[in-house]
Structure 1
Amino acid sequence: MNQTRRGAVTCGQAQDEHDERKLVSPSWLRSRLEEVSVIDVRGQVNKLNRTYDANGVNYYQKVEYRGLKDEYLFSHIPGSVFVDWTSDIVDKSSAGLSNLIDEDGFRQCMEERGTIIFLLLSEGVSCDKTAVIYDNGDMLYAARLWFAMVLYGHPDVRLLNGGLALWEEQGFPTSDDSRCMLTLLSEFNPERTYPSMLVSMSDVLSASSEVNLVDARSKEQYNGIERRATRGGHIPGAISLDRRRLLSEDGSGFLPPTQLRQVFGDAGVSLSDRPTIAYCNGGVASAVVLFALHLLDVPLDKLFNYDGSWNEYGSHTSNPPIG
């Protein structure tokens, strides 16, 4: 085991396995629970009622966003702490359902949470200590928090491949110990390295044809059959790549690098120096696409998230074009 700086844990990787400086296995985490900080960000998007259009085919899908704190309190990886993706890192003043909180708000949230996130104690997560994030296993919410932490400056953030589901499947222990260790406030003042990873609708509309524009939603949403905004469809020129295609069907997490490259190539996403803007409904599934590109060593300064996504674009009063 090597360390490139205090608290940053690294080790080697086999051919066609993921870089453990980005994505770790349950066995890797189990052997290092005392060395890293672990964050549980389990959540759900529940589909509620549908409202069909006059043609009886296309429909509006109402959804409910939930953080699974009760599940965390019942059972979690020992020593992990909980972040609610629907409230802790969301801009509550925004019209969007899940727009990311701004930098000052994120810093305040992290500082107020103290030992829960960035308190400079052994139980907490500091910028000198590797952070490992997990969710249910669909990698959706873990990727969202990864994006936020990288955007706002944490230097060593990794995901647990397969999440809690694979952790439990491989027989590793869980805990119901959620005693609050909060004793004082911390300071969250990392160096923000990638200030432009978050883009706006105007950025998307003015983007050149040399940018990969990737729609991470399902084909039904891309084609306008299902919509979660006023209008259905997709941004003109966008490549359809359902984020679920980047994951193994057996629930073990992200596909191996060779298969990821194949999926991106088949979809028409260039892995050269071309920048990529990803979107979905609210900047969450799009983070899975960005993390998968990160796994393939696409530089972080080439990865961009349209946070407003279709929730904004499909409901905008100026009626920007749709595909």
Structure 2
Amino acid sequence: MEAIITATELADDLTGPNPPVLLDVRWQLTTQGGTAFDGRADYTAGHLPGAVYVDLDTELAGAPGERGRHPLPDLGAFGAAMRRAGVSADRPVVVYDGGHGWAAARAWWLLRWTGHPDVRVLDGGLPSWEGALSTDAAEPDEGDFEPAPGAVESLDADGAAALARAGVLLDARAGERYRGEVEPIDRVGGHIPGAVSAPTTENVGPDGRFLSAGELSDRFKALGASEAAPVGVYCGSGVSGAHEVLALAVAGIPAALYVGSWSEWSADPSRPVAVGPDPR
């Protein structure tokens, strides 16, 4: 199953016999304590016809704490949110955001991790859509999706540390945060020892769309990531890291996500921190 879908392909699918459920996950991280704006206002102003708004902070993540700024959500609450949005096991899902791709990727990863068999991200997000938008709040029929976690791999802190030693652990944050030169959100800058800097922003072109599968494959192989060894990804709080996992999927490389990411790792002073451009 493809991980992304173009706006043209989506327009065709929406007129087919089993049109996808559309989830609008517009969200944006700020550097003021890690808070985020409420995307409902953008949704109300215009969204894909039939799309349901899903809030990343409250429906795709648990409360911030020791497990990070965006830990895994309570599965009961997540399942209820997905069913409210019309998500069912036998119906495809397409997720989009405002074009950054990070929030949509978080929803994509969670649905995959909880066992949904057919989820794709709209490549380029809402800006790629050339059709009409709607201002009507969607009211879909209740879905039947029941989360069954573990369908794809995830990592905890110990697993991430082990993978950095025995496989390939990619750090999806900006290079300056990886090197420890700046840290606008978390307790301390730097990276997990052994992790390789791989900013997720380099997986897309100027228009916000992913590079081709071949270009992504070449990029990740140059970083040491391929199907030959286990690959994991982390970021600040498990959002942009999901976008890197999505890029790896486009390249045909399976990867596990460390959901707690740097916000969990760096909160524990006993965990080692590396700084500078060298992985170790």
TM-score, normalization by structure 1: 0.78
Q: Give the conservation status (yes or no) of the 8 Å contact 2:155–2:258.
A: yes
Distance in 1 between the 2:76 and 2:220 partners? 35
- 1:74 offset after TM fit, Å? 1.0
Cα 1:229–1:27 change in 2 (3 A) is same
Describe how 1:1-323 pairs up with structure 2 within 5 A: 21-34=2-15, 35-48=19-32, 62-92=33-63, 94-95=65-66, 96-111=68-83, 113=84, 116=85, 124-167=86-129, 171-181=130-140, 186-189=143-146, 192=149, 194=151, 197-207=153-163, 209-227=165-183, 228-251=185-208, 253-266=209-222, 268-299=223-254, 303-323=255-275
Distance in 2 between the 1:93 and 1:293 partners? 27
* Identical counterparts, % of pairs: 31
Q: Secondary structure at the match of 2:224?
A: coil
Distance in 1 between the 2:21 and 2:71 partners? 25
- 1:224 offset after TM fit, Å? 0.7
- 1:148 offset after TM fit, Å? 0.2
Distance in 1 between the 2:24 and 2:263 partners? 26
Higher strand share: 1
Where does structure 1 lack aligned partners over 5 or more consecutive residues? Answer: 1-18, 49-61, 117-123
- 1:320 offset after TM fit, Å? 2.6
Q: Give the conservation status (yes or no) of the 8 Å contact 2:29–2:35.
A: yes
| Bigger radius of gyration among the two | 1
- Provide the alpha-carbon RMSD of the alignment: 2.0
Distance in 2 between the 1:191 and 1:319 partners? 31
Q: Secondary structure at the match of 1:249?
A: coil
Cα 1:22–1:181 change in 2 (3 A) is closer
Where does structure 2 lack aligned partners over 5 or more consecutive residues? Answer: 276-280
TM-score, normalization by structure 2: 0.89
Distance in 1 between the 2:128 and 2:45 partners? 17
Q: Give the conservation status (yes or no) of the 8 Å contact 1:41–1:67.
A: no
Q: Give the conservation status (yes or no) of the 8 Å contact 2:24–2:95.
A: yes
Cα 1:256–1:186 change in 2 (3 A) is closer
- What do the CA deviations read for 1:206-255 (whole angstroms, capped 9, x no partner)? 3363311000000110011111222111111111011000001133x101
Cα 1:102–1:275 change in 2 (3 A) is farther
Cα 1:273–1:105 change in 2 (3 A) is farther
Q: Give the conservation status (yes or no) of the 8 Å contact 1:127–1:190.
A: no
Cα 1:31–1:102 change in 2 (3 A) is same
Distance in 1 between the 2:259 and 2:180 partners? 20
